[in-house]
Structure 1
Amino acid sequence: MCGICCSVSFSAENFSKELKEDLLYNLMRRGPNISKQLSKSDGSYQCLFSGHVLHLRGVLTAQPLEDERGNVFLWNGEVFSGIKVEAEENDTQIMFNYLSSCEDESDILSLFSKVQGPWSFIYYQASSHYLWFGRDFFGRRSLLWHFSNLGKSFCLSSVGTQTSGVANEWQEIPASGVFRIDLKSTTITRCVVLKLYPWKYISRENIVEECVNSLTQISADLPAFVSVVLNEAKLFLEKPVVPLNMLLPQAPLETHCSSNASIPPTRETLQAFLADGHTKEVVQQFIHVLSVAVKRRILYLPRDENLAPNEVLKMCERKANVAILFSGGIDSMVIAALADCHIPLDEPIDLLNVAFMTEKKTIPTNCNKKRSKQKNHHEIPSEDFTKNVAATDDDSPYKQFSVPDRITGRAGLKELQVINPSRIWNFVEINVSLEELQELRRTQICHLIRPLDTVLDDSIGCAVWFASRGIGWLVTQDKVKSYQSSAKVVLTGIGADEQLAGYSRHRVRFQAHGLEGLNKEIMMELGRISSRNLGRDDRVISDHGKEARFPFLDENVVSLLNSLPVWEKANLTLPRGVGEKLILRLAAVELGLTASALLPKRAMQFGSRIAKIEKNDEKASDKCGRLQIIS
């Protein structure tokens, strides 16, 4: 994970060899391990490249990289497959080596078409004065652009700033393909022309599907001096996943389930589906592909076994390298169960569970008796202690944090402890008061969520920020101790609902328009996930010097799910808790999970109760005034 930035000026008086302090600060929070800046000037334009690295893989490598020809590369990504990167190698250096050997633009596009994993990049070609940049197909890594001064300057950056000027100055770069700017030409015309190389799907016969937002749609929010055009050579990137299977069944779906809505579904309800040989085979295939996706996302991390003998920690003091955003729901439970298969047995796994205060309670003065502070863990200031104290049970005075996700999270923890009692499962109770939410939204979170600006973005963005920060409490039978997660990798379940009809709107669409309508809804969900979710979540999680990883959006997982007919993924004739995300529930049963396999979908903003902590009369799609606050 990195914070990358390129500031370009076409006017000498506007060029600064230093980034603005607030932008530099935000970039460094993303990449706290090493920072570097590099200036390039051609007389008619000046570029300032700034790179800030979170070290996770291979040799610590400062960015930006520059080769002997003056080419410059900034990389914020992970190569999980497609291009060979050995365990001890740094993928930034490998990518730059390949780029430096590219002879023309088709070679560059071929390279990025091969990469499987999340990425955003900025690449300066000195000889041609081209600046290339873009995000991966799903937009799993944030990249913003900001055009100013009537075409005299622009900036590309992983994260924006809190600005007091014109609203929406920073905008997300669409994950529509790779863009290219001719810097030399721009200095002459004073117009910025963005050449787009879009994603396309290639069949054996011909090009059958193109994935590019309308050029007019991309241009709509840009200044008048900026235009977006398709590249003249009509070159493109090869789409990394197969198209969605739109096939419809020839006969009505079998339910394998009682039609009596008053009878709650049971684990046996799901096991009845697995009695069918074909269904079981498909579920096993799904488990395998998802398991490999999880494994790729937890390999190559610096672990204690790489330390010298005198540095090795005792098992009880070993730190978690991987954390999971954990509600106890089906998505996070399956990820946790699969992570358990691949993470060394003596390494803890952090389960990050966030709750927002639902009501004020008086905290008794004798509440500290059973608490002890743990060495080497985060010390929470005493004045914040009562605001963040963990709820140990529903009868405790800390019931204000006993939100739905806390209850299902604790239940999920017990299931995981049954599956693997030898593992240390750190269930981190992260409790947030209204005062802390309002203060940190204003000073730290607001600019990370923007340019997204709805009530829903505010709720999810803030909840994910506090959860991924990982500061909370470990609650055991005899004590409560303060804790801060040290894990640099945070796994999230995003992408499961979008692909497997997990949202209530999927059921509404199915009831109105059948399986054909459901297919179209799923296609739309996946198509907009880059602009609706992923850039925001990347900025929010990375603000803690951590990297978000999305197993459900692994290219092979998406291709498998896209290849299946919709009724093998979900069956919305069945009740909630069974029909939505059916294939994932069947996988959970195969993995040994119990009650969690039947939990209905509950949105994070409701499960954590952040949606209820301030205003209750807002719609999710409303513009959120709280995000307009300028620090």
Structure 2
Amino acid sequence: MCGICCVVTLCSQHAIRDFIKEDMLCCLRRRGPDSSQQMIKTVSDPFYECLFSGHVLHLRGPVTPQPLEDASSNVFLWNGEIFSGLHVGDAENDTKVMFHHLALCSSEADILSLFSLLRGPWSFIYYQASRHTLWFGRDYFGRRSLLWQFSDEADSTFCLSSVSVQSESGNQWQEVPASGIFKIDLKVCATTKSLSLALFPWKYRCTEKAAAEGFINVLDQVSKDLPDHIHLVMNESKLFLTAPVIPLNKTTSGTSGECPDTDSSNIPHVASVETLQGFLAVEHKRKLVYQFAAVLSEATKRRVLSLVREEDGNTSELPSTSGRKAHVAVLFSGGIDSMVIAALADKHVPSGEPIDLLNVAFMAKQQAEQKGPTKKHARQEVQLDLLCHQESCQDLEGKTGAHLSCFDVPDRITGRAGLKELEAINPSRTWNFVEINVTLEELKKMRQECIHHLIYPLDTVLDDSIGCAMWFASRGEGFVSSQGELKPYKSPAKVVLSGIGADEQLAGYSRHRVCFKKYGLEGLNKELEMELDRISSRNLGRDDRIICDHGKEARFPFLDEDVVSFLSSLPISEKADLTLPRGVGEKLILRLAAKELGLTASTILPKRAVQFGSRVAKLESSREKASDICSRLKLLLVDEL
């Protein structure tokens, strides 16, 4: 994981270093705390100047400072992981491997072929000195953040960065669309004193006519958000990147997916493990579930083993009974997505190594409003809150006379239940259930200091709720139970696994049921296709900026290319059956896989979004809509908090 940044200017009137402010450099360094350096390239005729800034989080192979430069003056910034498609040895660093292959490319087609091979998340910036060109882009799903900013026409300055800071005025940042990769001919731009971008889009293997129509649609979609003075064109050769996944199977005929031994008049009204067992009794269904579990397991394996496992060193502060430190953590609610990811991680993480389960809870609003006026009283009350799960609030209240505001939100309750299931599957594993408790005061403080910068340029109430919950969860600071008492703990894991992608592919959201009722399977297929198309702009850039602010890397097993292609190959009836009740019908194939993995009660838990499960959405305003612009994220309004 890295923070990467590039500034290009066609004007010599301003020092190029002035374009990167110190607060933005601070954000970049937080992403890459292990190495930071900058490099400037200046060309005099015609004049242009490039500043490259690289900040590295060491995860694989030897530490490799960025930016990299070769003997031909090419410069490379890489923020990604190559999990397959291009060989990276166990002792190799993928940044060096990728740069080596880029240096061998003699044409645009070679570069596109190289990026089409990659499997894994990435964003990159590559300066090809001999051709005066700058290449950049994000992977197919946009799993790594990359933002761009254009100055006004007179300044002719262009910036790319993993993360930015919100400013009161001036030019706004936008997420680079994950529509393909882009190229700038710097020599032409310097001559004309104007910026022009060429797009090389993703496309499925399909007919030329469909490809041409797709090119036009992508070009229009990207162009509409650009400033008027920025020119976007399709690359002259009509070259493209080959999509790393197959198109969605939209078949709606064939089997209905109904549970064996039931008919339309006898559909169960309540979710039950027995219903799942009925499906697994059918050989065809059990075979598909086995295949899905195998491909998801392999995806998880790649994500928990592709990292340097350093010597534990001093572990005296770690309350784990094993005395070893965790290298892998899971964003953990106890719901079906995080439970399956944790259970699969357990299969591949070395046996003596703990796994951290990061569980976040926000103080109930009414309790937050009734906090005492003094800092001392507030600290005492919070400490009592931390002990709420050991004794009932009523019992503690009777002993202390203090009013308690417990953090026993829905995700804390299901998280503890999920922990017991995982302990039953593998009692020899040290499972660090990290209780991360957030008060209203701390939420406001950290949002003002940094979280609103990380969510930016997104700005809705939903972005605020999810972003805040994810930031505190991935920070990993809380308490774990050790020998019957809670002890402070901060997760040392550099890799954080997230279950995002399951709901989008397996009809997990409530809106999918609404769509199915209105428009049937055809409408549901269109909705699921749209979910993956927009996941880069709605979720993944934001999630990457949030999690990586702690010097950790987000990894998404459900968005592994092999997993997505396997699920896309199946008709919707094999993945979900929304005629069945909540807790069974949505994400049906995942629930069946969970049952095969040995999970029990969690297999029939209905979907609960993190903003509701953690209670962050209830903490400040219950009257807002998720799609409303969030005033708390606006810099000019921050003092009103």
Q: What TM-score do you get using the length of structure 2 for normalisation? A: 0.91
User: Does the C-alpha gap of structure 1 residues 387 and 36 become closer, same or farther in structure 2, counting only changes over 3 Å?
Assistant: farther
Deviation string 1:353-386 (CA, Å, 9 cap, x unpaired) is 000111327899xxx9xxxxxxxxxxxx978953
**Correspondence for 1:601:** 607
For 1:147 and 1:301, locate their aligned partners in 2 and report how far apart those are by CA, in whole Å. Answer: 36
**Correspondence for 2:270:** 264
**Correspondence for 2:126:** 123
Among 134, 139, 144, which residue is 1:141 paired with?
A: 144
In structure 2, the residue corresponding to 1:558 is in which secondary structure?
helix
1:206 deviation in Å?
6.1
1:400 deviation in Å?
2.7
User: Does the C-alpha gap of structure 1 residues 384 and 540 become closer, same or farther in structure 2, counting only changes over 3 Å?
Assistant: farther
Q: Structure 1 residue 282 and structure 2 residue 288: aligned?
A: yes
1:164 deviation in Å?
1.5
Amino acid at match of 1:566: I
For 2:549 and 2:105, locate their aligned partners in 1 and report how far apart those are by CA, in whole Å. Answer: 34
Q: Structure 1 residue 505 and structure 2 residue 502: aligned?
A: no
Structure 1 residues 470-479 or 95-104, which shifts more?
Answer: 470-479
Amino acid at match of 1:222: L
Amino acid at match of 1:39: I
For 1:510 and 1:58, locate their aligned partners in 2 and report how far apart those are by CA, in whole Å. Answer: 47
Among 565, 590, 595, which residue is 1:589 paired with?
A: 595
Q: Is the 1:242–1:562 contact (alpha carbons within 8 Å) kept by the matching residues of 2?
A: yes
**Correspondence for 1:72:** 75
Amino acid at match of 1:225: H
**Correspondence for 2:200:** 197
Among 527, 538, 557, which residue is 2:563 paired with?
A: 557
In structure 1, the residue corresponding to 2:478 is in which secondary structure?
strand
1:229 deviation in Å?
1.1
Mapping for residues 216-255 of structure 1, pairs under 5 Å: 216-250=220-254, 252-255=256-259
1:208 deviation in Å?
5.2
For 1:132 and 1:408, locate their aligned partners in 2 and report how far apart those are by CA, in whole Å. Answer: 46
Q: Is the 2:329–2:493 contact (alpha carbons within 8 Å) kept by the matching residues of 1?
A: yes
For 1:263 and 1:8, locate their aligned partners in 2 and report how far apart those are by CA, in whole Å. Answer: 60
**Correspondence for 1:20:** 21
1:89 deviation in Å?
0.1
Q: Is the 1:323–1:351 contact (alpha carbons within 8 Å) kept by the matching residues of 2?
A: yes
For 1:348 and 1:399, locate their aligned partners in 2 and report how far apart those are by CA, in whole Å. Answer: 30
For 2:199 and 2:497, locate their aligned partners in 1 and report how far apart those are by CA, in whole Å. Answer: 31
For 2:616 and 2:190, locate their aligned partners in 1 and report how far apart those are by CA, in whole Å. Answer: 48
Amino acid at match of 1:94: V
Structure 1 residues 72-81 or 17-26, which shifts more?
Answer: 17-26
Amino acid at match of 1:51: G
For 1:383 and 1:155, locate their aligned partners in 2 and report how far apart those are by CA, in whole Å. Answer: 47
Mapping for residues 420-439 of structure 1, pairs under 5 Å: 420-439=426-445
User: Does the C-alpha gap of structure 1 residues 260 and 314 become closer, same or farther in structure 2, counting only changes over 3 Å?
Assistant: closer
For 2:337 and 2:521, locate their aligned partners in 1 and report how far apart those are by CA, in whole Å. Answer: 23
In structure 2, the residue corresponding to 1:493 is in which secondary structure?
coil
Mapping for residues 204-603 of structure 1, pairs under 5 Å: 214-250=218-254, 252-256=256-260, 264-304=270-310, 316-358=322-364, 359-360=366-367, 386=383, 389-393=386-390, 395-396=392-393, 400-476=406-482, 478-603=484-609
Q: Structure 1 residue 109 and structure 2 residue 120: aligned?
A: no
**Correspondence for 1:376:** none
User: Which sections of structure 1, spanning at least 5 residues, go unmatched?
Assistant: 369-380
For 2:545 and 2:606, locate their aligned partners in 1 and report how far apart those are by CA, in whole Å. Answer: 29
Amino acid at match of 1:389: L
In structure 2, the residue corresponding to 1:392 is in which secondary structure?
coil
Deviation string 1:412-431 (CA, Å, 9 cap, x unpaired) is 00000000000000000001
User: Does the C-alpha gap of structure 1 residues 229 and 305 become closer, same or farther in structure 2, counting only changes over 3 Å?
Assistant: same
User: Which sections of structure 2, spanning at least 5 residues, go unmatched?
Assistant: 397-403
1:330 deviation in Å?
0.2
Amino acid at match of 2:471: W
For 1:456 and 1:306, locate their aligned partners in 2 and report how far apart those are by CA, in whole Å. Answer: 38
Among 160, 165, 179, which residue is 2:164 paired with?
A: 160
**Correspondence for 1:11:** 11
Q: Structure 1 residue 623 and structure 2 residue 620: aligned?
A: no
Show structure 1 runs of 4+ deviating over 4 A. 205-213, 257-263, 304-308, 361-364, 381-385
Deviation string 1:499-558 (CA, Å, 9 cap, x unpaired) is 000001111110111110110000000100000000000000000000000000000000
Structure 1 residues 529-538 or 222-231, which shifts more?
Answer: 222-231
Q: Is the 2:322–2:354 contact (alpha carbons within 8 Å) kept by the matching residues of 1?
A: no
Amino acid at match of 1:506: H
User: Does the C-alpha gap of structure 1 residues 306 and 606 become closer, same or farther in structure 2, counting only changes over 3 Å?
Assistant: closer
Across the two proteins, how many residue pairs are aligned to each other? 611
1:163 deviation in Å?
1.0
User: Does the C-alpha gap of structure 1 residues 252 and 546 become closer, same or farther in structure 2, counting only changes over 3 Å?
Assistant: closer
Identity %: 61
Amino acid at match of 2:236: E
1:218 deviation in Å?
1.6
1:316 deviation in Å?
2.7
Amino acid at match of 1:5: C
1:154 deviation in Å?
1.1
Q: Is the 1:363–1:386 contact (alpha carbons within 8 Å) kept by the matching residues of 2?
A: no
In structure 2, the residue corresponding to 1:467 is in which secondary structure?
helix
Q: Structure 1 residue 62 and structure 2 residue 65: aligned?
A: yes
Amino acid at match of 1:103: S
User: Does the C-alpha gap of structure 1 residues 265 and 382 become closer, same or farther in structure 2, counting only changes over 3 Å?
Assistant: closer
Amino acid at match of 1:202: R
Deviation string 1:406-453 (CA, Å, 9 cap, x unpaired) is 000000000000000000000000011111101110111001001111
For 2:102 and 2:381, locate their aligned partners in 1 and report how far apart those are by CA, in whole Å. Answer: 50
CA RMSD of aligned residues (A): 2.4
For 1:139 and 1:387, locate their aligned partners in 2 and report how far apart those are by CA, in whole Å. Answer: 42
1:305 deviation in Å?
6.2
Q: Is the 1:388–1:433 contact (alpha carbons within 8 Å) kept by the matching residues of 2?
A: no
Amino acid at match of 1:244: L
For 1:617 and 1:385, locate their aligned partners in 2 and report how far apart those are by CA, in whole Å. Answer: 27
For 2:221 and 2:203, locate their aligned partners in 1 and report how far apart those are by CA, in whole Å. Answer: 18
In structure 2, the residue corresponding to 1:12 is in which secondary structure?
coil
1:399 deviation in Å?
5.0
In structure 2, the residue corresponding to 1:4 is in which secondary structure?
strand
For 2:187 and 2:385, locate their aligned partners in 1 and report how far apart those are by CA, in whole Å. Answer: 55
1:243 deviation in Å?
0.4
1:302 deviation in Å?
2.3
Among 143, 166, 179, which residue is 2:182 paired with?
A: 179
For 2:3 and 2:243, locate their aligned partners in 1 and report how far apart those are by CA, in whole Å. Answer: 26
For 1:543 and 1:347, locate their aligned partners in 2 and report how far apart those are by CA, in whole Å. Answer: 25
Amino acid at match of 2:258: E
1:260 deviation in Å?
6.0
For 1:517 and 1:145, locate their aligned partners in 2 and report how far apart those are by CA, in whole Å. Answer: 34
1:127 deviation in Å?
1.1
In structure 2, the residue corresponding to 1:616 is in which secondary structure?
coil
User: Does the C-alpha gap of structure 1 residues 518 and 67 become closer, same or farther in structure 2, counting only changes over 3 Å?
Assistant: same
Q: Is the 1:201–1:208 contact (alpha carbons within 8 Å) kept by the matching residues of 2?
A: no
Q: Is the 1:9–1:15 contact (alpha carbons within 8 Å) kept by the matching residues of 2?
A: no
Q: Is the 2:385–2:406 contact (alpha carbons within 8 Å) kept by the matching residues of 1?
A: no
For 1:387 and 1:222, locate their aligned partners in 2 and report how far apart those are by CA, in whole Å. Answer: 52
